[in-house]
Amino acid sequence: MYSDRMSTSDRLIESTRELLWERGYGGTSPKAILEHAGAGQGSMYHHFRGKPGLALAAIRRTAEEMRATTEDVLGRPGSPYERVEAYLRRERDVLRGCPVGRLTMDADVIASDELRAPVDEFLTWLRGRLASVVEEGREQGQFAPGADAEEIASVIVATVQGGYVLARASGSPAAFDTAVRGLLTLLAPGDRQLRGGRR
């Protein structure tokens, strides 16, 4: 499953990331992590402070990866509206849900200040990064002059996270796509709004 060149600590982190996404913190046992990683007994405690320390490393890595992926989309050339659209439409495994967003529904993660911190930090960064793009677009006349960039950024994040919930509940990515199309229509510059957000 993992490359022979991957270190034991990396295999443990990657295994924990996968299992947290699939099962949550409570459903991810140390035994399951070791089996998934193909690691020997005791290796978790050699490299980490047990399950909590390993989970923290896994959550941090997931947040860092998502931050890099998001920046790759929002930092590319194009108008602010086009970059927001690219973020909303980027390829996602919709039916699995957001690997960071799902952690907010994990009681064990939310109850731990340490485990919750990287989740909150990522979502705070995401709202701020989106707000900077929206503000840029507002200054260029692409968004309503009176628009509050931070509020719109929060709506974008809420639409994505809510879209995951709707898609998982219905068992179809179509619900996510519908939410994205609706938001893009609302955000579209005036001429696009008249055409129902079509380009």
**Domain with 116 in it: what CATH number?**
1.10.357.10
State mean pLDDT over 140-148: 86
Tell me: the pLDDT tens digits for 67-120?
A: 999 999 999 999 999 999 999 999 999 999 999 999 999 999 999 999 999 999
Domain assignment of residue 17, yes or no: no
Confidence of residue 2 (pLDDT cuts 50, 70, 90): low
Residue 40 inside a domain? The answer is no
| Residue 21 pLDDT > 50 | yes
Helix spans in the chain (H): 8-23, 30-37, 43-47, 50-74, 80-89, 107-111, 113-139, 149-170, 174-187, 190-194
Q: Is residue 163 situated within a structural domain? A: yes
List the domain range (segments joined by +) for residue 132.
59-194
**Residue 22 belongs to some domain of the structure:** no
Other residues' Cβ atoms within 10 Å of the Cβ of residue 112: 15
pTM score = 0.87
Structurally, how many domains does the chain consist of? 1
In a domain, 33, yes or no: no
